[in-house]
A = this chain, B = another copy of it.
């Protein structure tokens, strides 16, 4: 890698002309029929995992040149154990080969040398490891505090990688802890995490003005999104919740600055399984159409402001 994650991301958004990230969440029940081996409980685990990988490599091919990034969700691979993780590595490498940035959605969080081992797993790699199998950025969980994030930040500096720290997630229960008032000024737990994210990323601001240490903020909370964008002015955001979870282009607009920059908007099921609502089309054509339609919706809102 040759430039900080933040700069590579800004360039990738410019090249693609949109800020979409395609979430690679291979729900078994929705996989197109030609990959139904993944659902066959009688098939060997490696074969089932391979069918998932085959589907996603096709999706990655559909993404190439159309979006800046993909976001593989580790859980769906880990459900197939070592065979699933083998496919995770294959899908990451295929994405790199296709010129896509890879945001590994792993939500790891642990302390000291354990966090360093996770950073090695996803960002820095073993000595001599093929860099195609490593992520450009990963999601991490802040519950353990600064000494749990520092090893990941060090890894970002060493490997020109990035982080997206969970600040305010898109799910209904996210308010239980994240929206709790903490301290005298009416600040929430999310606000404290947001301030910490700014601090963690302050030394990793690239030439385009963005830090490589980003934040996850659910697109399902538009008001908070605008507020958190102000609070974290140089922090790239990752916005889940578009499409299947109910948020639209207008809801995410508050996360952006400077046209298409400042945020990536994730859609997973809405793109991967677009074919299930378009039986007349091939599933891959339906995925491309869904991607292009999401891109134009976002462009319309973001570039016409």
List chain A positions with a Cβ less than 8 A from chain B.
Answer: 25, 27, 41-42, 45, 48, 73, 75-76, 78-86, 88-89, 107-115, 117-118, 120-122, 126-129, 133, 141-148, 166, 169-178, 180-183, 189, 192-193, 196
> How many copies of this protein are present in the complex?
2
Using A78-B118, A117-B78, A171-B112 as known contacts, say yes or no to A177 and B189 having CB atoms under 8 A apart: yes
Dominant secondary structure at the A interface? helix
B133 touches A81 (CB 8 A): yes
Of the residues B41, B144, B193, contact of A126 by C-beta under 8 Å? B41
**Cβ contacts under 8 Å, A196 to chain B:** 176
> What's the nearest-Cβ distance from chain B to residue A152, in Å?
12
Q: Are B177 and A110 in contact (CB under 8 A)?
A: no
CA separation between A79 and B133, bound complex, in Å?
12
Shortest CB distance A183–B (Å):
7
Q: Is the CB of A41 within 8 A of B110?
A: no
Tell me the complex Cα distance, A174–B141, Å.
13
Flag if B82 contacts A145 (CB, 8 Å).
no
Task: State the CA gap A192–B25 with chains docked (Å).
Answer: 31
Residues of B within 8 A of A127 (CB): 41
Q: Pull 24 A–B residue pairs with CB atoms less than 8 Å apart, ordered by A.
A: A42-B128, A75-B110, A78-B118, A78-B122, A79-B126, A80-B126, A81-B85, A81-B89, A81-B133, A82-B86, A107-B141, A141-B141, A141-B143, A142-B177, A143-B166, A144-B166, A145-B173, A145-B175, A146-B173, A148-B171, A176-B192, A177-B192, A181-B183, A189-B189
Q: Do the beta carbons of B173 and A192 come within 8 Å of each other? A: no
Chain B residues whose C-beta falls within 8 Å of the C-beta of A183 in the assembled complex? 180-181
Of listed A81, A122, A146, residue having the most chain B CB within 10 A: A81
Contacts of A143 in B (CB 8 A): 141-143, 166, 169, 177-178
Measured CB to CB, the closest approach of chain B to A270, in angstroms, equals: 14
Whether the Cβ atoms of A145 and B171 lie closer than 8 Å is yes
> A39 to chain B: closest CB distance in Å?
10
Contact between chains at A182 and B189 (CB < 8 Å): yes
A76: B residues at CB distance < 8 A: 114, 117
Q: Which residues of B lie under 8 Å from residue A83 when comparing CB positions?
A: 82
Query: A89, B78: Cβ atoms under 8 Å?
Result: no
